[in-house]
Amino acid sequence: MRRKIRKISVGPDYKNAMHYQLGQTVCGDHEILSIEREENGEIHLLIGKDNNAFFWKGYTSTVPISIEYNIDF
């Protein structure tokens, strides 16, 4: 089962980590559209604006990452 990721925090210390959340505005006026976790553990962030989407950042499994999944009740 593939769960939808809502937010990631990158860094060894959660309080001072870099936080990325779906819908967050980045790079001026682009929005985080999707946070994907690959089978090899890598994380990719997809951003977009005006019906254009592209991969913005990627993190390997060597970087400490905290993942928050979307919960649908």
Closest to 34 (Cα-Cα) out of 47, 51, 16, 19: 47
Give the model confidence (pLDDT) of 25-57 as tens digits. 999 899 999 999 998 889 999 999 999 999 999
In this prediction, residue 72 carries a pLDDT of: 77
Structural domain spans, the chain:
5-69
Tokens of 5: 């990721």
Instruction: Enter the pTM of the model.
Output: 0.86
